[in-house]
Amino acid sequence: MRTRTAAIAAALALTFGGMSVAPASADPPEDPTADRDPSTTVRRAPAAVPVAPAAANVRGGAIVFVRGGNVWLVRGDGSGLYQVTTGGGYKTPSMANNGTIVAMRGDLLVVMRQNGQLVRAFEPEDLFPHDPTTINLTPALDPVISPDGTRVAYAQGRLRASGPNLEAEVLSSVTSVARPTLSRIWIGSDPTWVTNNRVVLSDNGGIDLANVGAVPDAWFSTSEIDPFFDDPYRFYGAYDPQLAPNGSHVVMTIDGDVVLTARVTGNPRTSTPAPPASACVVSDDGPASDDDLFSRATYAPDSASIVYANRGRLTVVRNIDACNATSAEKVLLTGTSDPYWSAAALNPPPKPKPRPTIRPFSLKKRPKVVGKARVGRKLAVTKGTWSPRPAKVSYRWFRGSKKVSGGAGAKASYRLKRADRGKRMRVKVTVRRSGYRTKTVWSTSSRRVKR
């Protein structure tokens, strides 16, 4: 068991200590237990009060997650599996109600549509000052897009020198999707949206509520939601909090070891209510691990089901808060991480057609002006020799540097006028063909026009 800050500290220390680490775009190795049969237990939390069963159907929205380093989509019943990106290196995706997806790739926050079409990518602002005590900073962590798709909440970790010791810190804030901006910075990690202007986040294992740009309010600690966690010999930290869309429950992971739901009284969207009461816990019955066993649990749009990744297994639990025989688990996929259940329907637009390859013309012989340069006589210009042969050729005659306007100056031949006396005539020749880049060249020049 590790706290979130300890996990970030370990990652930072790897870089600081000069140990070999994978680049930001590399995919982590798949958990060797990912393909095993599920070994989790859904049970009532120690202090939970029984509730009446709710509907067990998974309705609406789509789950965005990572598999093989790429972003994928699937419905809550396992249908409609769709690969959004290629190339790998993506982490912690989330999706707004309009279908806009954000995910981290290296140091960049990537904004895309459901079909993978890039909207924009940018590096969010650092949340820590670059002072002499800073040893290392993480990229942005766990970005979550707001329901309306206009903002992204994210965190960042820092390793700093504090006298003879090293300390790990985590801060969170909000940026605009349209352009990098920085709102008030909060102490804590894992911010997720309660409304388009309010977040819930983990503050060193406790849970806070905060309006964007405002000071956060402490909501609860783990010992306040269940006496089981009031242990003088062990600290239990709550992380990855997310409020159910209807506001009735909040789900979180406890040190990455279990998933816990808690029943909410009051309205966290507009106030800081009393601490919630534990409702249901999902525990892992497999072999012990130093890594987090559960990855980011989130509620379905109907507030009756949750999704999480457990040892790489993308798992949906229906009717979670009833926490009884109707609370059915279903493993949708293996080899996954970082699921997020959005209210957006799975409806990716057609992928944009690749732009056709535009090839260049090759000029073999330059166009040439032929004929006697005398007023009243006619000059002509050759097309030149091209590869391939152009489908269309257009002309524009010039007397010196001045364009001959009108239809007379747009033909392959031109009858010389008194205004042309003393000038050299030349032609700008333009060739076109489908699949080839339009090309314009100058012809050779005539002799000076005589009377």
Q: What is the DSSP string of 349-392?
A: PPPPPPPPPPBPPEEEE---EES--BTT-EEEE---EEES--SE
Q: How far is CA 74 from CA 68, 117, 346, in A?
A: 15, 18, 7
Q: Spell out the CATH class of 362-449.
A: mainly beta
Q: Do domains 59-345 and 362-449 have the same CATH topology?
A: no
Spatial distance between the Cα atoms of 375 and 361, rounded to a whole number of angstroms: 35
Instruction: Identify the burial level of 358 via C-beta atoms within 10 angstroms of its C-beta, where 0-12 means exposed, 13-18 middle and 19 or more buried.
Output: exposed
Coil vs helix vs strand at 149:
coil
DSSP state of 450: B
pLDDT band at 253 (very low <50, low <70, confident <90, very high): very high
Per-residue burial over 43-60, b = 16 or more CB atoms within 10 Å of its CB, e = otherwise: ebbeebeeeeebeeebeb
Each residue's pLDDT tens digit, 406-426: 999 999 999 999 999 999 999
- What pTM was estimated for this model as a whole? 0.72
Render pLDDT for 179-235 as a digit per residue (tens, 0 to 9): 888 899 999 999 999 999 999 999 988 999 999 999 999 999 999 998 888 888 888
Q: Where are the domains of the chain?
A: 59-345, 362-449
Q: What is the predicted pLDDT for the residue at 367?
A: 96
Strand, helix or coil at 80?
Answer: coil
Q: What is the pLDDT of residue 177?
A: 94
Q: Are 154 and 175 in contact (CB under 8 A)?
A: yes
- Label residue 451 by pLDDT band (50, 70, 90): confident
CATH number of the domain at 59-345, out of 3.30.565.10, 1.10.10.1590, 2.120.10.30, 3.40.50.300? 2.120.10.30
User: What pLDDT shows up at residue 41?
Assistant: 66
Q: Across the beta sheet with 189-195, what order do the strands follow?
A: 189-195, 198-203, 206-211, 217-220
